[in-house]
C-alpha cells in the first residue's frame, strides 16, 4: 500500500499510537519504581508543553509514545505569567503533571524559565517598569506568538520587578530541583539583549558609563557632546548619528544582558547545586553567543530552516557559529525543525521545499548535519504543533492530533541510533582548516552605519548586508570547496595557522594589537579592505590603514571610495585570479609589501607582506560580500587557494562539491561524517590526511563505504549521510 503524506493521521496512524502506548505502558510502570536513571547518551527530544498546548487529555499517551520512540528529553516553558496568576499565588498543577509524567517514562526535563514575560497583573502594579521602545511608546499586555498565552513586557532593570522574578524562580527551583526527571534549567531563550528606554535602564546605562569614563568631562569629550552638564542629563541614544554613543549603547546592552544572566545563574546555583544550567541563542554572529556559552554548562541554539532557508551552507553555518562560541563545550540544537511553517513573513515567496513544508528526509538530513558539525543533542521546537495562535501547526514532527507521522518515525530512528552508539559522541569535529574572525565592534559599526545588522536597531544579527554578508560569503566560499571554516573570536585566533578577517571597517586598538601579535608570532592573516578605517569610538584615522596596521600590511591607502550602491559588480585580480568585490574600494601604495593584485584601472588592489614570523594579504574590497552576491567560480577558487598560500593542507577533499564531509577525532575513535543534502543518491571519493585500512558505515543499513589508503569511497542516499568509523 502506498503511503500518502497524511497517512499517519488515518486509522493505521492511530493504531500505531495505540501500539506504542501499550508497549510503553509496561516500561513506564517499571520506570515508576525507579527514582533515578542515567542521563541520556545523546539528548534527543523536543519542547513539549506550552500552556495550554497540547490538550490535557493526551498528555499521558504522548509521553508514553515519545518514550517508546526513543525520546529521552523534553523541555517545557515554565512561564511566569502562566503560573503566578495573582500576587504570590502560584498554579503549578499542569507543570507538576508534566514532571511526574517525565519521571514515569524516564524522560528527562529541562525547565525553561521565562521571566521576561511578567504576569499581566504586574503591568498595572508597576507602571514604571513597562518596556519603552525607541519611539517612547510602552508595551501593552498581549498574547505571545510562541505560546499563544498572555504576558506583560516589563523590564528587569527595575529592582521591584527583578525581586518579584526572583521570588518566582526561587519557588520554581525549590519545587522541582529534587524531582527524578529534572535535568536542568534553560535560563535564556534565544539570548537577544533587550532594548528598553525605561528610567531604570537609563539609570543602569549611566552607571555603566560612569564605570567606563569616570567623569562627565571624559564622557563629553568621547561622545563629542560638550553640553551634557551632569550625569543626570545623560540619556540612551535614540538614533545612530553619534558613533561613539551608539557603540557604547550596543556594548551596554550586551553587558546588561550578561548581568541579568549571571543573576539567574547565581540565584539558581545557590538553590540547586547539582542540576545542569543551560541556555540557548540563535546561531547568529553576536558576541552574546560567546559570552552566554561561557557562563553555562551546556549551550544551544534555535535554528529552523523554515525561517531561514534550506540551503545546506546555512544549516552548517548555524551549527559552526555556535560550536565556535561554545569553544569545546557541549552544545545542543535546542530548537530544531520537525514540521512545516505557515503564514509567516519569512516563508512568503519561497518554494515549498525550501523549509516551508518538511518531510522525513528533511528531518533526517537536518539532524545529521547537526551531528556532523558537532551538536551533542537535538530538541525539536515542538513535539506536537500548537493548536492556538499564529504559529499553529508549526515545527512539530508529530501530527496535529498526536499521531505518529513519517517525520516522527524518522526522529525516533535517529534518537535510538544516536543513543545506541555512545563511542561516537566521545569524538568531536577536528579544528577547521581556516578561522573566520568574528569582531563584535566591526559588526556593531556596520549596523550603526546602516551597512549591516550586527545586533543593533535595524534587525537581527543574521540578516541585512555589510558585515554579516561578508562573513557569510567567506564561509560559503570555503564551504563550496568542502573546506571547514570555523568561526573564531579575536582572543582565540592563535589556534589557527591562517585566519580570514571580514569587513574590518571599524576596529578597536586592542583588536588591531591582537592581529599584529598573531602575525608576528607566525600566523597568516587575510584581511578585507579598509581595516580599522574607523578606530575606537568610530573616529577615522588620518593614516590608512589605521591603528598602525599600515606597518602590518606594508601598504598605505592611496585612494578610497565608499559607494556600496555602485560597487555591486566590482572586479579585481588577486594572485592571478579575477575575483568579485563589494561595498567599498581601497587602493594602495607600497611601503614594504609586495603587489598581489590590481583593479581594472591598473591601481594596486592587494598587497602581500611578511611581518615578524608571519604573512599578511590585504585586499582592497570585500571578497566575502562579493561571493555572497555572485558566487563566481574564480572567487571560490581564490578562497580555496588561501590554504596553499598559508602552507595549510585541506583535511578532507571531496570529489563532489555538493557532498560535505567532516572528520571527528577523540577517545571514541576517528569518524568521517559524509552528508549528501541533494535529492539524488551520490557516490563520492574523499581524500583524507592519513591512510586507513578499514571503513565501516554505522548509520546506513548496508555497507556503503570502502577505503584504499587515504581515499574513502562512499555512496550516500539522497538527503542522507554516512557515519564512517575509520581504523
Residue 703: its pLDDT value, please? 65
Q: List beta partners, residue 86.
A: 89
Q: What pLDDT band is residue 452 in, cutting at 50, 70 and 90?
A: low
Residue 700: its pLDDT value, please? 87
Alpha helix positions (H), 32-140? 59-69, 80-83, 93-104, 121-125
Whether residues 311 and 377 share a domain: the answer is: yes
Three-state DSSP class for 367? helix
Whether residues 535 and 620 share a domain: the answer is: yes
79-132 confidence digits (pLDDT tens): 999 999 999 999 999 999 999 999 999 999 999 998 989 999 999 999 999 999
Whether residues 659 and 641 share a domain: the answer is: no
Say if 131 falls within a structural domain: no
Candidate from 141-145, 153-157, 396-400, 652-656 with smallest mean pLDDT: 141-145
Q: Quick check: 454 pLDDT over 80?
A: no
Residue 451: its pLDDT value, please? 77
295-328 confidence digits (pLDDT tens): 999 999 999 998 999 999 999 999 999 999 999 9
108 vs 124: CA distance, rounded Å: 38
593-618 confidence digits (pLDDT tens): 999 999 999 999 999 999 999 999 99
Q: List beta partners, residue 615.
A: 524, 610
Name the pTM for this structure. Answer: 0.93
State the DSSP string of 497-544. SEEEE---SB--HHHHHHHHHHHHTT-EEEE-SSTTSB-GGGPBPSSS
612 vs 39: CA distance, rounded Å: 50
Q: Are 336 and 362 in contact (CB under 8 A)?
A: no
Residue 203: its pLDDT value, please? 98
Q: Are 213 and 245 in contact (CB under 8 A)?
A: no
Q: List beta partners, residue 278.
A: 186, 298
266 vs 155: CA distance, rounded Å: 19
Whether residues 441 and 469 share a domain: the answer is: yes
What average pLDDT does this structure show over 482-490? 97
Say if 240 falls within a structural domain: no
Residue 702: its pLDDT value, please? 67
Three-state DSSP class for 558? strand
Q: Quick check: 5 pLDDT over 60?
A: no
> Residue with C-alpha cell 498572555?
150
Instruction: Calculate the CA 556 to chain-centre distance.
Output: 37
Whether residues 98 and 39 share a domain: the answer is: yes
C-alpha distance across the termini of the chain, in Å? 42
Whether residues 416 and 442 share a domain: the answer is: no
Residue 34: its pLDDT value, please? 56
What average pLDDT does this structure show over 148-161? 96
Q: Quick check: 32 pLDDT over 60?
A: no
Say if 217 falls within a structural domain: no
Q: What SS3 string covers 576-617?
A: CEEEECCCEEEEEEECCCEEEEEECCCCEEEEEEEECCEEEE
410 vs 394: CA distance, rounded Å: 18
515-569 confidence digits (pLDDT tens): 999 999 999 999 999 999 999 999 999 999 999 999 999 999 999 999 999 999 9
What average pLDDT does this structure show over 386-415? 96
CATH number at residue 658: 2.60.40.1180
Whether residues 294 and 372 share a domain: the answer is: yes
Torsion sign (Cα): 79, 84, 88, 92: negative
219 vs 241: CA distance, rounded Å: 16
CATH number at residue 296: 3.20.20.80
Alpha helix positions (H), 105-158? 121-125
Q: Which three cell numbers stand for residue 404?
A: 505518529
Q: What pLDDT band is residue 459 in, cutting at 50, 70 and 90?
A: very low
Q: Quick check: 159 pLDDT over 70?
A: yes
What average pLDDT does this structure show over 652-677? 98
568-579 confidence digits (pLDDT tens): 999 999 999 999
Whether residues 398 and 442 share a domain: the answer is: no
Say if 127 falls within a structural domain: no
* 4: exposed, middle or buried (Cβ count in 10 Å: 0-12, 13-18, 19+): exposed
Domain end position, chosen among 628, 645, 662: 645
Q: What SS3 string covers 618-639?
A: EECCCHHHHHHHHCCHHHHHHH
Contacts for 473 with CB less than 8 Å, ≥ 6 apart: 502, 622, 623, 624, 625, 626, 627, 628, 629
Q: Sheet containing 142-143: which strands, arranged edge to edge? A: 117-118, 150-153, 142-143
Number of domains in the chain: 3
284 vs 304: CA distance, rounded Å: 12
Q: Which DSSP helix (H) or strand (E) runs through 707? A: strand 705-716
Q: Which DSSP helix (H) or strand (E) runs through 187? A: strand 182-189
Whether residues 476 and 338 share a domain: the answer is: no
Contacts for 415 with CB less than 8 Å, ≥ 6 apart: 42, 44, 45, 69, 70, 71, 72
Q: What pLDDT band is residue 269 in, cutting at 50, 70 and 90?
A: very high
Whether residues 555 and 657 share a domain: the answer is: no
Q: Quick check: 350 pLDDT over 80?
A: yes
How confident is the prediction for the chain on average, in pLDDT? 92
CATH number at residue 502: 3.40.50.880
Domain that holds residue 302: 7-72+81-111+174-193+254-420
Q: Quick check: 486 pLDDT over 80?
A: yes
Amino acid at each position: 500500500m502506498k503511503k500518502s503524506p497524511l497517512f499517519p493521521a488515518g486509522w493505521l496512524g492511530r493504531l500505531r499510537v495505540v501500539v506504542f502506548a501499550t508497549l510503553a505502558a509496561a516500561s513506564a510502570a517499571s520506570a515508576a519504581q525507579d527514582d533515578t536513571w542515567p542521563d541520556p547518551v545523546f539528548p534527543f527530544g523536543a519542547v513539549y508543553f506550552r500552556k495550554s498546548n497540547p490538550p490535557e487529555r493526551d498528555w499521558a499517551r504522548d509521553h508514553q509514545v515519545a518514550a517508546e520512540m526513543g525520546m529521552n528529553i523534553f523541555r517545557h516553558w515554565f512561564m511566569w505569567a502562566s503560573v503566578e496568576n495573582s500576587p504570590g499565588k502560584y498554579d503549578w498543577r499542569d507543570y507538576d503533571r508534566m514532571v511526574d509524567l517525565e519521571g514515569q517514562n524516564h524522560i528527562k526535563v529541562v525547565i525553561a524559565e521565562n521571566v521576561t514575560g511578567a504576569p499581566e497583573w504586574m503591568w498595572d502594579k508597576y507602571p514604571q517598569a513597562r518596556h519603552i521602545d525607541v519611539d517612547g511608546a510602552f508595551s501593552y499586555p498581549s498574547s505571545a506568538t510562541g505560546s499563544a498565552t498572555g504576558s506583560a513586557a516589563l523590564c528587569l532593570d527595575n529592582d521591584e520587578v527583578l525581586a518579584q522574578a526572583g521570588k518566582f524562580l526561587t519557588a520554581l527551583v525549590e519545587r522541582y530541583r529534587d524531582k527524578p526527571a529534572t535535568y536542568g534549567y534553560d535560563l535564556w531563550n534565544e539570548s537577544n539583549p533587550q532594548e528598553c528606554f525605561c528610567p531604570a535602564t537609563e539609570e543602569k546605562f549611566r552607571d555603566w558609563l560612569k564605570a567606563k569614563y569616570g567623569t562627565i568631562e571624559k564622557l563629553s569629550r568621547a561622545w563629542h557632546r560638550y553640553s551634557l552638564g551632569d550625569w543626570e542629563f545623560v540619556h540612551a541614544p535614540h538614533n545612530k548619528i553619534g558613533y561613539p554613543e551608539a557603540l557604547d549603547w550596543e556594548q551596554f546592552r550586551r553587558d546588561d544582558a550578561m548581568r541579568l544572566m549571571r543573576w539567574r545563574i547565581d540565584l539558581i546555583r545557590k538553590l540547586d547545586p547539582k542540576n545542569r544550567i543551560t541556555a540557548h541563542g540563535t546561531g547568529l554572529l553576536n558576541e552574546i553567543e560567546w559570552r552566554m556559552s561561557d557562563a553555562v554548562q551546556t549551550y544551544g541554539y534555535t535554528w529552523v530552516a523554515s525561517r531561514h532557508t534550506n540551503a545546506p551552507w546555512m544549516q552548517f553555518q548555524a551549527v559552526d557559529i555556535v560550536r565556535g562560541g561554545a569553544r569545546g563545550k557541549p552544545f545542543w540544537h535546542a530548537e530544531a525543525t520537525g514540521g512545516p511553517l505557515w503564514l509567516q513573513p519569512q516563508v512568503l515567496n519561497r518554494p515549498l521545499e525550501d523549509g516551508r513544508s518538511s518531510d522525513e528526509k528533511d528531518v533526517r538530513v537536518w539532524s545529521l548535519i547537526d551531528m556532523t558539525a558537532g551538536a551533542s543533542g537535538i530538541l525539536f521546537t515542538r513535539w506536537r504543533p500548537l493548536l492556538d495562535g499564529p504559529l499553529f501547526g508549526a515545527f512539530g514532527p508529530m501530527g496535529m492530533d498526536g499521531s505518529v507521522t513519517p517525520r516522527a518515525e524518522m526522529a525516533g530512528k535517529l534518537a535510538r541510533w544516536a543513543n545506541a552508539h555512545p563511542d561516537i559522541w566521545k569524538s568531536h569535529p577536528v579544528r577547521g582548516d581556516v578561522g573566520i574572525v568574528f569582531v563584535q565592534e566591526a559588526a556593531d559599526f556596520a549596523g550603526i552605519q546602516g551597512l549591516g545588522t550586527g545586533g543593533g536597531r535595524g534587525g537581527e544579527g543574521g540578516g541585512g548586508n555589510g558585515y554579516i554578508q561578508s562573513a557569510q560569503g567567506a564561509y560559503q566560499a570555503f564551504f563550496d570547496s568542502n573546506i571547514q571554516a570555523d568561526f573564531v573570536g579575536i582572543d582565540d585566533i592563535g589556534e589557527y595557522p591562517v585566519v580570514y578577517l571580514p569587513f574590518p571597517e571599524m576596529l578597536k586598538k586592542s583588536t588591531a594589537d591582537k592581529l599584529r601579535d598573531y602575525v608576528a608570532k607566525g600566523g597568516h592573516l587575510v584581511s578585507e579592505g579598509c581595516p580599522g578605517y574607523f578606530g575606537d569610538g568610530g573616529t577615522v584615522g588620518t593614516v590608512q590603514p589605521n591603528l598602525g596596521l599600515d606597518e602590518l600590511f606594508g601598504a598605505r591607502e592611496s585612494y578610497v571610495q565608499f559607494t556600496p550602491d555602485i560597487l555591486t559588480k566590482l572586479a579585481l585580480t588577486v594572485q592571478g585570479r579575477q575575483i568579485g568585490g563589494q561595498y567599498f574600494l581601497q587602493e594602495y601604495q607600497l611601503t614594504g609589501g609586495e603587489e598581489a593584485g590590481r583593479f581594472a584601472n591598473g591601481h594596486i588592489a592587494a598587497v602581500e607582506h611578511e611581518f615578524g614570523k608571519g604573512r599578511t594579504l590585504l585586499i582592497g574590497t570585500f571578497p566575502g560580500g562579493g561571493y555572497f552576491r555572485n558566487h563566481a567560480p574564480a572567487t571560490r577558487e581564490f578562497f580555496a587557494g588561501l590554504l596553499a598560500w598559508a602552507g595549510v593542507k585541506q583535511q578532507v577533499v571531496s570529489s563532489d562539491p555538493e557532498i560535505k564531509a567532516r572528520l571527528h577525532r577523540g577517545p571514541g575513535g576517528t569518524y568521517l561524517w559524509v552528508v549528501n543534502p541533494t535529492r539524488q543518491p551520490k557516490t563520492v571519493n574523499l581524500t583524507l590526511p592519513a591512510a586507513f585500512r578499514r571503513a565501516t558505515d554505522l548509520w546506513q543499513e548496508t555497507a556503503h563505504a570502502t577505503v584504499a589508503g587515504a581515499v574513502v569511497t562512499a555512496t550516500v542516499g539522497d538527503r542522507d549521510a554516512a557515519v564512517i568509523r575509520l581504523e
